[in-house]
Chains A and B, each alone.
Chain A
Amino acid sequence: MSGIIADPTDSCTPAQEIPADLSGQMLELDEDDDLEVFSKDTTLTDGSFFNASMPTSPASMINQYKFEEEADDKDIFITVDNPESHVTAIETFITYRVLTKTTRSEFDSCEYEVRRRYQDFLWLKGRLEEAHPTLIVHPLPEKFVVKGMVERFNDDFIETRRKALHKFLNRVADHPILSCSEDFKVFLTAQAWELTSHKKQGPGFLSRMGETVRAVAATVRGVKNRPEEFTAIQEYVDTFSQKITSLDKVTQRILKEQKEYLDELKEYGPVYTLWSGSEEELVEPLKGVASCIERCCREKEEQISHLSETLVPSLHEYVLCAETLKSVLRRRDNIQADYEAKNDMLANKKTDREVLKEEIDKLEDKVECANNALKVDWARWQKNMSGDIRGAFLSTAEKNIDYYEKCLAVWESFLLSQRSEHSVEGTREQQTAKDACPQDT
C-alpha cells in the first residue's frame, strides 16, 4: 500500500544477534530457498520433503518478539470479498476474491487479485500445518454448520464464512514465520491453473501416507516424558476449550433471547396506537408511548446485529482455536514420541548403532525445535487471544451502553413532551384566570 515505508526484507534478513537457546540449531550459512528452517537436513522435516518454504532465519524468530513493530511495519494487506457462485457440470461452489497489496520484495508485483474457493483455503491450512506442526495456525470457518443453516449458499452463511476467511489470511500474514511460506505466496498470487499444478507438486501420496502411518503409530505409543510446561499448557487448553465453548453457547442463547424479545416488542407498540384510536385526551401520550417503543425496537435491532457480527464470531473462532491448540499439542507429543521410540530402540540394537544414533540426534533436534516454536507461538497466541476477547467484549459492552443511552433519550424526550403539555395547560389556566379578574393583576 502506498505510504507505508517498510523494509520489505525485514522478515528475512540475517540478524546481528542470535538468541542463545536457538544458536545450536540455527543454520549459519544456507539461505537456500529449499531449506526448512528448523533442521539441518531437509530429510528431517516431517514428511514434506520437497517443502518449498521460504527460509526464516534467526532474525525472523527475533522479530516475533517485537509485536509492536508488526503493526507499524505491516507490509501486506489482504482482503477477501466478493463471493460469487460458480456452476460446473459436476458441482456448484462459491469463490471469493482475494486481493493482496504488498511491498514485500519476494512478491514480484505489489498487487494481486485471484479467486479462491474454500477447498483452496483448506489446502493452504494443511500445507502450513504440515510445514510447521507446532505453530498455531488460525482456524478456518467450519465446513458445514451443524445447527441452523443447512443451505450452504445462504447469504448469512456466506458472509460469515467470508469474514472468517478474511481473518484467517490476515492472521497468517501477521505471523512472522507462516507469512513467509511459499505456499502462502502461491495461494495469494497464482492463477487458477498455476495453483492446481502447484498443489500437485506437494509430497507424493505415498510419502504422505507414510507420514500419516507414523503419526498414528506415535499417537498409539504415547509420549513418556512430557515436559512440565507442555502439560501445563495441555491442562490450560482443556479448561479453556470448555470455557470458551460455554461462552459461545451462552452468547448464542443471548442472541436467541434478544431476537424473541424483539419479536414481542414489535407487537407491543401497535396496541398503544390502536388504543389511541378510541381516546380523545389520551391520544398524545398513547401515541407517544407507541413511538417510543418503536424507536427502542430499532435500537434493539442494531444491538442484535452488533452482537451477531462481533462477539458471536469472535467467540466461535476461539472455540475452533481450542481444537487447533489440541492438535498442535498432539503433534508436538507425536514428535517427542517418535524420538523416544527410536531412543528405546537404541538400547536393544547391537549393530548399526551409529546410523541409529544419528537419526536419534536429528529427532532430538526436531523435538527441541518443535518445542521452542510452540513456546514462542504459544506466548504470541495468548497475547492475540486476550486482545481479541477483550476487544470483542469491550465492543459489546460499548454497544449495550449505546443501546441503553439511546433508549433513555427516547423516553426522556417523551416525558419532556408530556410535562411541557402540562405546563402549557398550566399557563393557559393562569391566563384565563387573569382574564377573568383583571383588577387583581
Chain B
Amino acid sequence: MADSSTEEGPVIGKTDEAAVDVENNTTNTMVEEGMRLLNKMEISVAEAEKRMGKNTVSMAETHTVYLIETRPVEVAAECQNTPPDCLWRRYSEFELLRNYLLVTYPFVVVPPLPEKRAEFMWHKLSSDNMDPDFVERRRVGLENFLLRVASHPVLSNDKILYSFLKQENGWKEMVLETGFQAKIDSRLKTLNATFRVKNPDKRFSDLKHYSDDLQSVTSRLLRVRARVADRLYGVYKVHGNYGRVFSEWSAIEKEMGDGLQSAGHHMDAYASSIDDILEEEEHYADQLKEYMFYAEALRAVCRKHELLQYELETAAQDLASRKQQHEEPATGTVRTFSFKEMTTKLFGLETAEQREAKLKVLEEQIAEGEELVKEKTTECNEFVKNAWEDIEHFREQKDRDLKEALISYAVMQISVCRKGIQVWSNAKECFNKM
C-alpha cells in the first residue's frame, strides 16, 4: 500500500475518481490532474536490504538497496491480495533519476532526495550511513520523493520515471542514452550568467533571495534544534541516576524504603522516555530538511532562468550590433569600432563587390540572429510561464506542509508534557509515602 507519511501533502488521488478519470480522459495534457501517475498506481518503498557488491575500483563494499513496490490502483482496490510488482534500487540510481529530471524539466522545482549523509545529528544518533535508524529514515524519504514526483503534474508523465518504477534491468543504460548528461549546464556558464545578466526578472530575483533565506534559516534551525535535543537528552538521562541511588538507599531505610524504591522506578522510566521522544522529533527534522533541500531546487530554477535570460540578452545584443554594422556603410556614420574599419583606413577602401558580399553576409547573419532572438524569447517566455506555474504549486504545497509540520511539532510537545506530568505525579505519590 502506498504509505505516504501523513505530514507531507502529496495528493494521492481518491482511488475511485482516478479510475473514472482514466477512462474518460483521452487527451494527455500536462496539467490534467487525472493523469498523474500516482492516481493510477500505488507506489511504496517497502524495504531496505544490505547487499554486497563491487564498487568502481572493484573493491568489495556493502551498500543498501531499497525495494520499490507498485500496483495499479484499480487492482489494489478490487483485490488486496495481488502481489505488487517490485524491484530493487540503490540510492545512486535515485540520484541518477533526479539528475535526469533536473536537466529535462529545468522549469520544475524538482522534489529533493533525502540527504546522502546524516547531518545535523545530535550526539546520540550516529552519522553512520549503515545505521538502521538512518536507513529507515532514508527509506521513508525515498518513498516520499517518489510519491511527490509521481503526483507532480509534469514529472509524473515522464517515461524514464515509469521505467524506473517498472523496469529493473537496463534502466540505467536507458537513462544515459537520453544524453541528458550532455545537456547539463556547466557551473561556469551559469555563474557567468548570474553576474552578467542585465535585466533580471524581478520575480525571479525575489525568488532567489527567498530561496537563499529559506535555505539558511532551515539549516540554522536544524542545527539549533539538534543542540537543544542533545541537552534535553542529558537532562532526562541524569535523572536515571536518581533511580539507582534511591534503590540503594532504600535498602537501609525502614519507613522511607518503599517510597524511595518506587520513586526510583519512575525516575528510570523518566530517563528512558527521552529516546522515543527524540526519535519522533527526528521526523520533524526530516520535514525541515526536505524544505532545506527544496530551497536548492528553487534556486536551480532561478539559475536556469538567469541563464536563458542571459542567452536571450546576448542574442539580442549580437543582433543589435550586426544591424548597426549593416547600417553604418549606408548612413556613413561610424558608431562602433570594427577591425574592418581599421584595415580599411590602413589599407584603403574595399571594392564595391567586396562591400556587396559583406552586406549580404551581414543580412544573412541578421536574419539568423532574428530567428535566434525569436527562439530565445519564446524559450524564455515558455520557461517563465511554466516555471511560474510550478512555483505557485510549490508555494502552496510548502505552506501546507510546513504548517502541518509546525502543528505536529506542537502536538509532539504536548505529548512530552503529558508524559512528564504523568511520571512526576507518580513520583510525587511515592514521595508522599516516604
Give A contacts to B, CB under 8 Å.
235-236, 239-240, 243-244, 246-247, 250, 253-254, 257-258, 260-261, 263-265, 267-268, 271-272, 274-275, 277-278, 281-282, 285-286, 288-289, 292, 386, 389-390, 393-394, 397-398, 400-401, 403-405, 407-408, 411-412, 414-415, 418
Contacts and interface: CB of A to CB of B under 8 A. Distances in A.
A245 to B, nearest CB: 10
A247 B242 contact: yes
B217 A250 contact: no
Contacts of B218: 275
Given A258-B235, A271-B221, A401 B410 contact: no
B224 A289 contact: no
B360 interface: no
Interface string B218-240: 10110011011011101100110
Contact of B256 (A246, A257, A265, A389): A389
B228 A401 contact: no
A393 B263 contact: yes
Given A257-B234, A261-B231, A415-B407, A404 B424 contact: yes
B417 A254 contact: no
A14 to B, nearest CB: 34
Given A285-B407, A390-B256, A401-B424, A407 B249 contact: no
B23 interface: no
A405 B221 contact: no
A411 B234 CA distance: 23
B414 A268 contact: no
Interface stretch (B47-55, B73-81, B339-347, B425-433): B425-433
Given A254-B238, A285-B406, A397 B431 contact: yes
A292 B416 CA distance: 14
A401 B425 contact: yes
Given A260-B231, A401-B421, A408-B418, A386 B255 contact: yes
B417 A407 contact: yes
A328 B248 CA distance: 24
Query: Which residue among A263, A264, A414 has the maximum number of chain B CB atoms within 10 Å of its CB?
Result: A264
B325 to A, nearest CB: 47
B403 interface: yes
Contacts of A408: 414, 417-418, 421
Chain A facing B: main interface SS? helix
B239 A271 contact: no
A282 B400 CA distance: 9
A292 B410 contact: yes
A275 B432 contact: no
Interface residues of B, number: 51
A239 B248 CA distance: 9
Contact of B410 (A236, A263, A274, A415): A415
A243 B249 contact: yes
A274 B406 contact: no
- Shortest Cβ-Cβ A-B pairs, 3 listed: A261-B231, A408-B417, A397-B428
B214 interface: yes
A289 B410 contact: yes
A400 B403 contact: no
Contacts of A260: 231, 234
B402 interface: yes
Contact of A271 (B224, B253, B413): B224
Contacts of A253: 238, 241
A397 B228 contact: no
Given A250-B238, A285-B407, A407-B413, A239 B424 contact: no
Contact of A289 (B227, B399, B406): B406
20 contacts: A235-B252, A250-B245, A258-B235, A260-B234, A271-B217, A271-B221, A275-B218, A275-B221, A277-B213, A278-B213, A282-B402, A288-B406, A386-B255, A393-B427, A400-B420, A401-B428, A405-B417, A407-B417, A415-B411, A418-B406
B171 interface: no
Contacts of B213: 277-278
Query: Which residue among B213, B235, B421 has the maximum number of chain A CB atoms within 10 Å of its CB?
Result: B235
B410 A246 contact: no
Interface string B200-227: 0000000000100110011011001101
Nearest to B255: A386
A257 B227 contact: no
Contact of B221 (A272, A282, A407, A418): A272
Given A268-B224, A390-B256, A408-B421, A278 B231 contact: no
Nearest to A285: B406
Nearest to A405: B421
B118 interface: no
Given A257-B238, A271-B221, A398 B428 contact: yes
A243 B214 CA distance: 52
Contacts of B248: 239, 243
Contacts of B224: 264, 267-268, 271
Given A261-B231, A393-B263, A401-B424, A289 B431 contact: no
A273 to B, nearest CB: 10
Contacts of B418: 404, 408
A277 B210 CA distance: 10
Contacts of A254: 235, 238-239
Contacts of A235: 252
A275 B217 contact: yes
Contact of B225 (A246, A268, A415): A268
Given A278-B213, A286-B406, A393-B431, A257 B414 contact: no
A243 B220 CA distance: 43
